Amino acid sequence: MTPKAPVPSFDDLLSSATRSALHLEMRDVYAVGEEEDDMQRWRSGQWSLDDGRKVMAGWMDLVESVTKRGVSVRRARIVSVPVTEYIQYEHALTPLNILAGEDCRWLPRREALGIPLPAADFWLIDERVVRFNHFSGMGEPVDPEMSEDPAVASLCASAFAAVWGRATPHGEFQV
């Protein structure tokens, strides 16, 4: 068995993009980890986008640096409706993704029926490199993996395009 190649950091991966960085999320719950305090403030109603900005500052800086180079960064989320508490929280944070330069859309899971989807969330860089993000059943990240297989990249590009075409822009999506 061939050992897996190391998976680059998100900084390295996104910094390598020259045209596009597409992200498809398909889970209703992700482990909160470092965001736990922020989510607790959000849950209690004592939260503002400035609180979220503190949590997302590093991510926002990275996305801004990528989009300033002309790279299109798009994120699509397939979610169950009614949405989970985590998705409500993520929806509240999404204006910060947009402020950093991402374009974000939401697709109710029922509207994704018939779309061939890979089995895991992914990032697709320049329609040729895929980073699959694997998670435990509780939403904890586990070993991600990379693929440069053209057939895998094509599946991911097709899946993303189909989701994007059906999805609702963030500003119009109600949770």
Domains in the chain, CATH or no CATH each: 10-172 (3.30.870.10)
Q: Please check the confidence at residue 31 and state whether its pLDDT lies above 90.
A: no
pLDDT at 5: 62
pLDDT at 80: 98
* Of 110 and 38, the one with more pLDDT: 110
Q: What is the pLDDT of residues 55-92, one digit of tens each?
A: 999 999 999 999 999 999 999 999 999 999 999 999 99
Name the nearest CA neighbour of 106 among 137, 131, 136, 75.
75
pLDDT at 119: 94
**Measured CA distances, 3 to 27, 123, 143 (Å):** 28, 22, 13
The confidence band for 10, taking pLDDT boundaries of 50, 70 and 90, is: confident
The stretch 16-27 carries a mean pLDDT of 98
Mean pLDDT of the chain: 94
pTM of full prediction above 0.85: yes
Q: What is the pLDDT of residues 141-171, one digit of tens each?
A: 999 999 999 999 999 999 999 999 999 999 9
Q: What is the pLDDT of residues 85-97, one digit of tens each?
A: 999 999 999 999 9
Q: Please check the confidence at residue 101 and state whether its pLDDT lies above 50.
A: yes
57 neighbors 93 (Cβ within 8 angstroms): no
The stretch 96-109 carries a mean pLDDT of 98
pLDDT at 2: 47
Partnered with residue 106 across adjacent β-strands are: 77, 168
Partnered with residue 169 across adjacent β-strands are: 105
